[in-house]
A = this chain, B = another copy of it.
Amino acid sequence: MTDSRAISSAAAASTFGWDLHLELSGPGLRAGLTGALREAVRTGRLAPGTRLPSSRSLAADLGIARNTVAESYTELVAEGWLTARQGSGTRVAGRVRARGAAPSAPPARPARTRPAYSLVPGSPNLAEFPRKQWLTAARRALTAAPYEAFGLGDARGRVELRTAVADYLARARGVYAAPERVVICSGFHHGLALVARALAAGRVRAVAVESYGFDVYRDRLADAGLRTPPLYVDERGARTEDLARLRGIGAVLLTPAHQFPTGVALHPERRAAAVDWARATGGLILEDDYDGEFRYDRQPVGALQGLDPERVVYFGTASKSLAPGLRLAWIVPPAELFPRIMAAKGAFDWTSSSLEQLTLADFIASGAYDRHVRSMRLRYRRRRDQLVTALAERAPDIRVTGLAAGLQAVLELPPGTEQSVVRAAAGRGLAVSGLAEFGYAAGGVDWRLPERAALVVNYAAPSDSSWAGTLDTLCGVMP
């Protein structure tokens, strides 16, 4: 039987001009590609100095998104397996010694292994998942479930979960919700894909996105055929006063409570400007409230949706508050968009397990969700304070911003040093993201992102056992 090693060999061969076996395994497609390329370098199948195909052409050959390839290359450059230089493309680093290949001159530096530490944003602390409490909720939910719960049920999601979420959102986030208006989906990506299809079906052609912002969200919008002009972000959040200047946009994707990745809350005047724009133009605000629960210094900023529920699509998720592995998130759309979202979800798109939905409903209704969020808020605040203290001692010139909320902070660096710091960290086994990864420019606006060198540091994710080493390594590479 042909195993996965050979699956994309034809595609890879046509790209590389020879028979590279890419094994698309490991966690996720991007991680799989990264692992396969790393392995190919490690074993000598990709020799030092070899020029890799452009991300565009490899992506086309493998039939995957270009961003996936580009991110994979970036990661391998950061880890030291590849080098990227303007004008000469991406190449296998000269210093890598192939394992199992014929012995050659000793490498100038030892070959890299997988990073020992990671501060890459996107994940909460997985080690703190409340297993015991979750099992208790599962037992209660499974015991009490009516037998129709084992069938397909409502395409919007279980009414028990929609009710628990509506109550929670009204109470904790100031969201104007009713159980009939909540749609359960399999994570923010799934929800955004549904809303993107609903918008496209309603003749929206472009959705403005924050820059800085997360590129995979642009991909979800682009998948539905939408243009994504950038809306620039400064120290008061997204420049919503620029919305009127962006031609032909029907919606804007914002992170008002805690801008991702810069960490600022959207200024009240800009919140008002966003709502004014939506009312004046009939546009919609897509509010990504990904970590609104985690605010450290005062009450969390309420959701924008409360200002005008008919002009805002609210997105919430259990991915930051509990775990991404649950694949549970929720949308609260305005009435006008609801039928199109349900049409996009389709009669068949019951993607979430009803048992898992009932478990989360019990977990929220019993108060366990609030207790878990409170407990994690204390832990994350302690982490944040440790980060600030360590930097103040060992790198006092580094200014830290975006600290008031969320799972990550921004470390402002001297101009021009971002890439060298990222590389130095990789050299010591620490994966960390530069702010430039999240910058995005496109035509249509004259305002530009100012030059800014910074790291985006997810202090929440490291396990307790790796935290001290992570922090020490980070401080050690500060310029």
Contact = CB atoms under 8 A, between A and B. Distances in A.
Interface of A: 1-4, 6-8, 11, 24-30, 32, 62-65, 68, 123, 126-127, 129, 131, 134-135, 138-139, 142-143, 145, 147-155, 176, 178, 180-181, 186-187, 189-190, 193, 201, 216, 219-220, 223, 309-310, 323-328, 335, 338-340, 342-343, 346-356, 463
25 contacts: A3-B178, A8-B338, A24-B339, A27-B151, A27-B154, A28-B155, A28-B350, A29-B346, A29-B347, A30-B347, A32-B154, A32-B155, A63-B343, A64-B347, A129-B147, A135-B142, A150-B325, A152-B325, A186-B350, A189-B348, A220-B348, A325-B353, A325-B354, A327-B350, A353-B353
Q: Which 4 A-B pairs have the closest CB atoms?
A: A189-B348, A325-B354, A150-B323, A4-B180
A76 B223 CA distance: 38
A27 B126 contact: no
A29 B342 CA distance: 8
Nearest to A128: B147
Given A63-B340, A138-B135, A123 B151 contact: yes
Contacts of A351: 186-187, 190, 327, 351-352
Contacts of A62: 339, 343
Nearest to A159: B25
Contacts of A135: 138-139, 142
Contacts of A138: 135, 138
Contacts of A342: 24, 29, 64
A288 to B, nearest CB: 14
Given A189-B348, A323-B150, A181 B339 contact: no
A328 B2 CA distance: 25
Nearest to A461: B151
A448 B142 CA distance: 48
B27 A338 contact: no
Contact of A347 (B7, B216, B356): B216
A147 B134 contact: no
Given A64-B343, A135-B139, A193-B348, 8 more contacts: A3-B180, A29-B342, A65-B347, A68-B347, A190-B348, A325-B353, A351-B352, A352-B353
Contact of A26 (B27, B154, B190, B323): B154
B176 A1 contact: yes
A147 B129 CA distance: 8
A216 B65 CA distance: 29
A145 B351 CA distance: 22
Contact of A325 (B8, B139, B149, B189): B149
A320 to B, nearest CB: 12
B28 A153 contact: yes
Given A63-B201, A348-B216, A326 B309 contact: no
Contacts of A2: 310, 335
Nearest to A356: B353
Given A7-B338, A126-B151, A150-B126, A309 B348 contact: no
A198 to B, nearest CB: 9
